[in-house]
Amino acid sequence: MNNSDILVDFDTSVGRWIGSTAKMVDNYLHEAFQSQGLDLSKEQMIVLKKLHENDGLIQNELAYLTLRDKSSLARLLAKMERKNYITREQDEFDKRVNRVFITETGRTTFRLTRPIIVGLKEIMEKDIKEEEIYQLTNTLKSIQRNISSEEAQI
């Protein structure tokens, strides 16, 4: 086996560009949240967004909606409880189920992220035509479907 058999050109791989772009977005949000005095991660902001839209979600539903496994979500929620962003309560009908609620502190914090998110969206979409954004979004959805169908076969 020679080197050409194992070399992959990662610079032209969509995975490389998706990954590096996601990292840039993460870094931008981290710095922007810190500069505004927000003790918040992107993952925590996503949880607050889901609860802002649908408060009282079952913890397992929240894991699914945020694309997290149950144990990593439980750790994330524990941090968010310590910051008073959320509360968890046992379901009144099924004690095995926890429901997650956003607190007033969580709502206020989430509202403070909105200008940052709008600003990031404007930066990312600057000088990109609407039809190009539409095409990119559809391409990324196709990539996600492809990965999901492959994961189902593993």
* Count of domains for the chain: 1
Q: What is the C-alpha to C-alpha distance for residues 100 and 102, in angstroms, rounded to an integer? A: 7
As a whole-number percent, the residues of the chain with pLDDT over 70 amount to 95
Above 80 in pLDDT, residue 114? yes
Domain that holds residue 96: 10-117+128-153
Edge-to-edge strand ranges of the sheet holding 57-58: 57-58, 98-102, 86-90
More confident position, 7 or 127: 127
Instruction: Classify residue 45 as exposed, middle or buried by CB count within 10 Å of its CB (0-12, 13-18, 19+).
Output: buried
Q: How confident is the model at residue 149 (pLDDT cuts 50, 70, 90)?
A: confident
Tell me if 2 is assigned to some domain: no
Q: What is the C-alpha to C-alpha distance for residues 58 and 76, in angstroms, rounded to an integer? A: 15
Tell me if 122 is assigned to some domain: no
Global pTM value: 0.84
Q: Which two structure tokens, joined as six digits, stand for 84?
A: 């008073």
Q: What is the CATH number of the domain that holds 35?
A: 1.10.10.10
Q: How high is the mean pLDDT of the chain? A: 92
Tell me if 3 is assigned to some domain: no
Q: How confident is the model at residue 93 (pLDDT cuts 50, 70, 90)?
A: confident
Q: Which two structure tokens, joined as six digits, stand for 9?
A: 């050109």
Interval 9-42: pLDDT, tens: 777 889 899 999 999 999 999 999 999 999 999 9
Give the model's pLDDT for residue 1: 53
Tell me if 84 is assigned to some domain: yes
